[in-house]
Structure 1
Protein backbone atom coordinates (compact mmCIF):
# COMPACT_ATOMS: atom_id res chain seq x y z
CA UNK A 1 0.00 0.00 0.00
CA UNK A 2 1.46 3.33 -1.08
CA UNK A 3 -0.72 5.75 0.89
CA UNK A 4 -3.35 5.49 3.59
CA UNK A 5 -6.25 7.87 4.17
CA UNK A 6 -7.30 9.18 7.56
CA UNK A 7 -10.42 6.99 7.49
CA UNK A 8 -8.40 3.86 6.65
CA UNK A 9 -5.98 4.68 9.47
CA UNK A 10 -8.97 5.06 11.81
CA UNK A 11 -10.08 1.58 10.73
CA UNK A 12 -6.68 0.07 11.50
CA UNK A 13 -6.65 1.73 14.92
CA UNK A 14 -10.26 0.62 15.67
CA UNK A 15 -9.33 -2.97 14.77
CA UNK A 16 -6.43 -2.80 17.20
CA UNK A 17 -3.99 -3.44 14.40
CA UNK A 18 -0.41 -2.99 15.64
CA UNK A 19 1.21 -0.15 13.77
CA UNK A 20 3.94 2.41 14.22
CA UNK A 21 3.32 6.06 13.36
CA UNK A 22 6.65 7.58 12.32
CA UNK A 23 6.90 11.36 11.94
CA UNK A 24 9.91 12.17 9.74
CA UNK A 25 9.93 15.93 10.42
CA UNK A 26 12.66 17.71 12.37
CA UNK A 27 12.53 17.44 16.17
CA UNK A 28 11.46 21.08 16.48
CA UNK A 29 8.55 20.55 14.07
CA UNK A 30 7.59 17.36 15.90
CA UNK A 31 7.65 19.19 19.24
CA UNK A 32 5.37 21.91 17.90
CA UNK A 33 2.61 19.37 17.23
CA UNK A 34 2.34 15.70 16.29
CA UNK A 35 -0.17 12.88 16.10
CA UNK A 36 -0.84 11.10 19.39
CA UNK A 37 1.35 8.01 19.63
CA UNK A 38 3.71 9.08 16.85
CA UNK A 39 7.47 8.71 17.24
CA UNK A 40 9.98 11.14 15.77
CA UNK A 41 12.59 9.72 13.39
CA UNK A 42 13.82 12.62 11.23
CA UNK A 43 14.23 11.84 7.55
CA UNK A 44 18.02 12.11 7.64
CA UNK A 45 18.20 9.72 10.63
CA UNK A 46 16.12 6.88 9.16
CA UNK A 47 17.89 3.55 8.87
CA UNK A 48 16.58 0.04 8.19
CA UNK A 49 17.65 -0.86 11.74
CA UNK A 50 15.09 1.62 13.08
CA UNK A 51 12.32 -0.87 12.34
CA UNK A 52 11.46 -4.43 13.29
CA UNK A 53 10.75 -7.07 10.65
CA UNK A 54 7.07 -7.27 9.73
CA UNK A 55 6.20 -4.05 11.55
CA UNK A 56 3.33 -2.06 9.97
CA UNK A 57 4.75 1.43 9.46
CA UNK A 58 2.83 4.63 8.67
CA UNK A 59 5.10 7.53 7.68
CA UNK A 60 4.01 11.14 7.98
CA UNK A 61 5.30 14.69 7.85
CA UNK A 62 3.60 18.07 7.46
CA UNK A 63 2.10 17.45 4.02
CA UNK A 64 3.53 14.20 2.67
CA UNK A 65 6.63 15.14 0.66
CA UNK A 66 9.26 14.09 3.21
CA UNK A 67 7.23 11.00 4.14
CA UNK A 68 7.26 9.89 0.47
CA UNK A 69 11.02 10.49 0.35
CA UNK A 70 11.40 8.33 3.47
CA UNK A 71 9.15 5.67 1.94
CA UNK A 72 11.34 5.49 -1.18
CA UNK A 73 14.53 5.33 0.88
CA UNK A 74 13.15 2.54 3.08
CA UNK A 75 11.74 0.62 0.12
CA UNK A 76 15.18 0.63 -1.52
CA UNK A 77 16.49 -1.38 1.46
CA UNK A 78 13.50 -3.72 1.70
CA UNK A 79 11.40 -1.98 4.38
CA UNK A 80 7.75 -1.47 3.41
CA UNK A 81 5.82 1.52 4.75
CA UNK A 82 2.80 3.56 3.74
CA UNK A 83 2.36 7.33 3.83
CA UNK A 84 -0.50 9.10 5.60
CA UNK A 85 -2.30 11.17 2.93
CA UNK A 86 -1.97 14.86 3.73
CA UNK A 87 0.18 14.25 6.81
CA UNK A 88 -0.14 16.31 9.96
CA UNK A 89 -1.85 19.13 8.02
CA UNK A 90 -4.73 16.83 7.01
CA UNK A 91 -4.96 15.49 10.57
CA UNK A 92 -5.29 19.05 11.92
CA UNK A 93 -7.73 20.08 9.16
CA UNK A 94 -9.97 17.17 10.20
CA UNK A 95 -10.10 18.66 13.71
CA UNK A 96 -8.13 15.86 15.33
CA UNK A 97 -6.12 16.16 18.53
CA UNK A 98 -2.47 17.13 18.29
CA UNK A 99 0.08 16.51 21.03
CA UNK A 100 2.63 19.22 21.78
CA UNK A 101 5.79 19.18 23.82
CA UNK A 102 6.13 21.84 26.50
CA UNK A 103 9.31 23.37 25.08
CA UNK A 104 8.86 24.27 21.45
CA UNK A 105 11.03 26.01 18.93
CA UNK A 106 10.28 27.54 15.58
CA UNK A 107 8.97 25.31 12.82
CA UNK A 108 11.27 24.65 9.90
CA UNK A 109 8.95 26.58 7.59
CA UNK A 110 9.15 29.64 9.85
CA UNK A 111 12.95 29.39 9.96
CA UNK A 112 13.05 29.27 6.14
CA UNK A 113 10.83 32.35 5.86
CA UNK A 114 13.04 34.24 8.32
CA UNK A 115 16.25 33.17 6.57
CA UNK A 116 14.98 34.01 3.08
CA UNK A 117 13.63 37.36 4.24
CA UNK A 118 16.89 38.29 5.95
CA UNK A 119 18.93 37.35 2.86
CA UNK A 120 16.68 39.43 0.59
CA UNK A 121 16.88 42.38 3.00
CA UNK A 122 20.68 42.04 3.23
CA UNK A 123 21.04 41.87 -0.56
CA UNK A 124 18.79 44.89 -1.07
CA UNK A 125 20.49 47.06 1.56
CA UNK A 126 24.00 46.04 0.48
CA UNK A 127 23.17 46.79 -3.18
CA UNK A 128 21.88 50.26 -2.22
CA UNK A 129 24.77 51.09 0.10
CA UNK A 130 27.76 49.18 -1.31
CA UNK A 131 27.57 47.67 -4.77
CA UNK A 132 24.73 46.66 -7.10
CA UNK A 133 26.29 43.19 -7.44
CA UNK A 134 24.63 42.38 -4.10
CA UNK A 135 21.32 42.19 -6.00
CA UNK A 136 22.50 38.75 -7.15
CA UNK A 137 21.83 37.55 -3.60
CA UNK A 138 18.17 38.51 -3.85
CA UNK A 139 17.99 36.82 -7.26
CA UNK A 140 19.49 33.61 -5.87
CA UNK A 141 17.00 33.59 -2.99
CA UNK A 142 14.14 34.21 -5.44
CA UNK A 143 15.34 31.38 -7.68
CA UNK A 144 15.58 29.06 -4.68
CA UNK A 145 12.06 29.90 -3.53
CA UNK A 146 10.74 29.42 -7.07
CA UNK A 147 12.47 26.02 -7.29
CA UNK A 148 10.99 25.05 -3.92
CA UNK A 149 7.54 26.11 -5.09
CA UNK A 150 7.69 24.01 -8.25
CA UNK A 151 9.37 20.91 -6.83
CA UNK A 152 8.31 20.98 -3.15
CA UNK A 153 12.00 20.49 -2.30
CA UNK A 154 13.44 23.32 -0.23
CA UNK A 155 17.23 23.34 -0.14
CA UNK A 156 17.30 25.98 2.62
CA UNK A 157 14.88 23.86 4.66
CA UNK A 158 17.06 20.78 4.16
CA UNK A 159 20.10 22.74 5.32
CA UNK A 160 18.30 24.19 8.35
CA UNK A 161 17.02 20.73 9.33
CA UNK A 162 20.64 19.68 9.86
CA UNK A 163 21.41 22.55 12.23
CA UNK A 164 22.01 21.67 15.89
CA UNK A 165 18.98 23.57 17.19
CA UNK A 166 16.74 21.37 15.00
CA UNK A 167 18.09 18.14 16.45
CA UNK A 168 17.30 16.45 19.72
CA UNK A 169 20.09 16.23 22.25
CA UNK A 170 22.07 18.82 20.27
Structure 2
Protein backbone atom coordinates (compact mmCIF):
# COMPACT_ATOMS: atom_id res chain seq x y z
CA UNK A 1 0.00 0.00 0.00
CA UNK A 2 1.42 3.40 -0.97
CA UNK A 3 0.31 6.57 0.79
CA UNK A 4 0.91 10.14 -0.35
CA UNK A 5 3.01 12.20 2.07
CA UNK A 6 1.40 15.41 3.32
CA UNK A 7 3.21 18.71 3.52
CA UNK A 8 2.96 21.12 6.42
CA UNK A 9 4.20 24.69 6.38
CA UNK A 10 5.93 26.15 9.43
CA UNK A 11 2.73 27.65 10.89
CA UNK A 12 0.84 24.36 10.58
CA UNK A 13 3.72 22.34 12.00
CA UNK A 14 4.27 24.78 14.87
CA UNK A 15 0.58 24.69 15.80
CA UNK A 16 0.57 20.87 15.84
CA UNK A 17 4.09 20.27 17.20
CA UNK A 18 2.86 18.68 20.46
CA UNK A 19 0.93 15.99 18.55
CA UNK A 20 3.62 15.23 15.95
CA UNK A 21 6.48 12.76 16.09
CA UNK A 22 9.27 14.72 14.42
CA UNK A 23 12.08 12.80 12.70
CA UNK A 24 15.05 14.82 11.45
CA UNK A 25 16.77 12.94 8.60
CA UNK A 26 19.89 15.11 8.43
CA UNK A 27 23.30 13.87 9.50
CA UNK A 28 24.00 13.92 13.24
CA UNK A 29 26.42 16.79 12.69
CA UNK A 30 23.73 18.89 11.00
CA UNK A 31 21.15 17.87 13.62
CA UNK A 32 23.49 19.06 16.39
CA UNK A 33 23.62 22.56 14.87
CA UNK A 34 19.90 23.02 15.56
CA UNK A 35 16.69 21.01 15.22
CA UNK A 36 12.96 21.34 15.83
CA UNK A 37 11.99 20.95 19.48
CA UNK A 38 11.57 17.27 20.31
CA UNK A 39 12.93 16.06 16.97
CA UNK A 40 14.55 12.64 16.86
CA UNK A 41 17.55 12.13 14.58
CA UNK A 42 17.43 9.24 12.12
CA UNK A 43 19.74 10.03 9.20
CA UNK A 44 18.24 9.33 5.78
CA UNK A 45 20.64 6.46 5.14
CA UNK A 46 19.34 4.71 8.28
CA UNK A 47 15.60 5.10 7.69
CA UNK A 48 15.19 1.52 6.44
CA UNK A 49 16.76 0.24 9.66
CA UNK A 50 14.16 2.17 11.66
CA UNK A 51 11.06 1.06 9.70
CA UNK A 52 9.50 -1.07 12.50
CA UNK A 53 9.84 1.72 15.07
CA UNK A 54 8.61 4.40 12.67
CA UNK A 55 5.61 2.21 11.77
CA UNK A 56 4.88 1.81 15.49
CA UNK A 57 5.11 5.57 16.07
CA UNK A 58 2.87 6.26 13.06
CA UNK A 59 0.16 4.21 14.79
CA UNK A 60 0.07 6.88 17.52
CA UNK A 61 -0.12 9.92 15.21
CA UNK A 62 1.43 11.90 12.41
CA UNK A 63 5.13 11.52 11.65
CA UNK A 64 6.74 14.77 10.46
CA UNK A 65 9.91 14.27 8.42
CA UNK A 66 12.36 17.20 8.53
CA UNK A 67 15.70 18.10 6.94
CA UNK A 68 17.50 21.34 6.11
CA UNK A 69 15.49 22.36 3.03
CA UNK A 70 12.85 19.67 2.53
CA UNK A 71 14.52 17.58 -0.20
CA UNK A 72 15.84 14.75 1.99
CA UNK A 73 12.68 14.66 4.10
CA UNK A 74 10.62 14.32 0.91
CA UNK A 75 12.82 11.37 -0.11
CA UNK A 76 12.29 9.81 3.31
CA UNK A 77 8.56 10.44 3.05
CA UNK A 78 8.41 8.70 -0.34
CA UNK A 79 10.36 5.75 1.03
CA UNK A 80 8.02 5.44 4.01
CA UNK A 81 4.93 5.91 1.82
CA UNK A 82 6.08 2.97 -0.29
CA UNK A 83 6.11 0.95 2.95
CA UNK A 84 2.56 2.09 3.77
CA UNK A 85 3.65 4.47 6.53
CA UNK A 86 1.87 7.84 6.34
CA UNK A 87 4.08 10.88 6.91
CA UNK A 88 4.19 14.62 6.46
CA UNK A 89 7.15 16.79 5.48
CA UNK A 90 7.99 20.29 6.63
CA UNK A 91 7.99 22.62 3.64
CA UNK A 92 11.36 24.38 3.53
CA UNK A 93 12.78 22.29 6.38
CA UNK A 94 14.64 23.68 9.36
CA UNK A 95 15.76 26.63 7.23
CA UNK A 96 12.13 27.76 6.82
CA UNK A 97 11.49 27.06 10.52
CA UNK A 98 14.40 29.31 11.55
CA UNK A 99 13.47 31.96 8.95
CA UNK A 100 9.98 32.09 10.51
CA UNK A 101 11.65 33.02 13.81
CA UNK A 102 10.80 29.70 15.47
CA UNK A 103 13.11 28.13 18.03
CA UNK A 104 15.67 25.50 17.08
CA UNK A 105 17.00 23.33 19.89
CA UNK A 106 20.72 22.72 20.17
CA UNK A 107 22.62 20.38 22.49
CA UNK A 108 24.73 21.95 25.23
CA UNK A 109 27.46 24.17 23.77
CA UNK A 110 30.23 21.86 24.94
CA UNK A 111 28.75 18.92 23.01
CA UNK A 112 28.72 20.57 19.59
CA UNK A 113 31.03 22.22 17.15
CA UNK A 114 30.12 24.56 14.37
CA UNK A 115 29.10 22.59 11.31
CA UNK A 116 28.18 23.22 7.74
CA UNK A 117 24.90 22.11 6.23
CA UNK A 118 25.12 19.18 3.83
CA UNK A 119 24.21 21.46 0.91
CA UNK A 120 27.13 23.76 1.80
CA UNK A 121 29.51 20.80 2.10
CA UNK A 122 28.44 19.51 -1.33
CA UNK A 123 28.87 22.94 -2.95
CA UNK A 124 32.33 23.35 -1.36
CA UNK A 125 33.48 19.87 -2.36
CA UNK A 126 32.14 20.10 -5.92
CA UNK A 127 33.68 23.55 -6.41
CA UNK A 128 37.03 22.45 -5.00
CA UNK A 129 37.22 19.37 -7.25
CA UNK A 130 36.22 21.40 -10.34
CA UNK A 131 38.88 24.03 -9.63
CA UNK A 132 41.46 21.35 -8.88
CA UNK A 133 40.66 19.54 -12.14
CA UNK A 134 40.99 22.74 -14.14
CA UNK A 135 44.22 23.77 -12.41
CA UNK A 136 45.84 20.35 -12.79
CA UNK A 137 44.63 20.26 -16.39
CA UNK A 138 46.52 23.48 -17.10
CA UNK A 139 49.66 22.74 -15.10
CA UNK A 140 50.12 18.96 -15.29
CA UNK A 141 48.09 17.23 -17.99
CA UNK A 142 44.84 18.06 -19.83
CA UNK A 143 43.36 14.70 -18.77
CA UNK A 144 42.86 16.11 -15.25
CA UNK A 145 40.05 18.25 -16.68
CA UNK A 146 38.01 15.04 -16.68
CA UNK A 147 37.66 15.55 -12.91
CA UNK A 148 35.77 18.77 -13.60
CA UNK A 149 33.68 17.11 -16.29
CA UNK A 150 32.86 14.24 -13.93
CA UNK A 151 31.63 16.62 -11.23
CA UNK A 152 29.57 18.58 -13.78
CA UNK A 153 27.98 15.34 -14.98
CA UNK A 154 27.29 14.31 -11.39
CA UNK A 155 25.59 17.63 -10.66
CA UNK A 156 23.37 17.28 -13.73
CA UNK A 157 22.49 13.70 -12.73
CA UNK A 158 21.80 14.88 -9.17
CA UNK A 159 19.40 17.56 -10.41
CA UNK A 160 17.59 15.20 -12.78
CA UNK A 161 17.13 12.43 -10.22
CA UNK A 162 16.75 14.60 -7.09
CA UNK A 163 19.46 12.52 -5.41
CA UNK A 164 22.98 13.37 -4.36
CA UNK A 165 25.68 10.73 -4.24
CA UNK A 166 28.22 13.24 -3.00
CA UNK A 167 25.97 14.03 0.00
CA UNK A 168 25.75 10.32 0.79
CA UNK A 169 29.54 10.02 0.76
CA UNK A 170 30.06 13.22 2.77
CA UNK A 171 27.44 12.08 5.29
CA UNK A 172 29.66 9.14 6.20
CA UNK A 173 32.63 11.33 7.17
CA UNK A 174 33.45 11.50 10.89
CA UNK A 175 32.58 15.19 11.29
CA UNK A 176 29.04 14.42 10.08
CA UNK A 177 28.67 11.54 12.54
CA UNK A 178 29.69 12.82 15.98
CA UNK A 179 29.64 10.21 18.71
CA UNK A 180 26.49 11.76 20.25
CA UNK A 181 24.45 10.08 17.53
CA UNK A 182 22.76 7.08 19.12
CA UNK A 183 20.35 5.36 16.75
CA UNK A 184 19.49 2.69 19.33
CA UNK A 185 18.36 5.35 21.85
CA UNK A 186 16.36 7.13 19.14
CA UNK A 187 14.63 3.90 18.12
CA UNK A 188 13.83 3.14 21.76
CA UNK A 189 12.28 6.62 22.12
CA UNK A 190 10.12 5.94 19.05
CA UNK A 191 8.90 2.66 20.56
CA UNK A 192 8.05 4.31 23.89
CA UNK A 193 6.25 7.23 22.30
Paired residue secondary structure (1:35): coil
Paired residue secondary structure (2:69): coil
Residue segments in structure 1 that go unaligned for 5+ positions in a row: none
TM-score with structure 2 setting the length? 0.76
Partner of 2:63: 57
Structural mapping, 1:117-136, within 5 Å: 117-136=127-146
Is 1:92 matched up with 2:98? yes
TM-score with structure 1 setting the length? 0.85
CA contact (8 A) 1:63 1:88 kept: yes
Give, in whole Å, the separation in 1 of the partners of 2:52 and 2:174.
Answer: 23
Alignment RMSD, CA only? 2.1
Give, in whole Å, the separation in 1 of the partners of 2:8 and 2:30.
Answer: 22
Partner of 1:110: 120
Higher RCO (CA 8 Å, separation ≥ 6 residues):
2
Partner of 1:30: 31
Give, in whole Å, the separation in 1 of the partners of 2:45 and 2:79.
Answer: 10
| Richer in helix (by share) | 2
CA contact (8 A) 2:65 2:87 kept: yes
Per-residue Cα deviation, 1:25-77 (whole angstroms, up to 9, x for no partner) = 11111111211211111111112123225132111111111111111111222
Give, in whole Å, the separation in 1 of the partners of 2:159 and 2:79.
Answer: 23
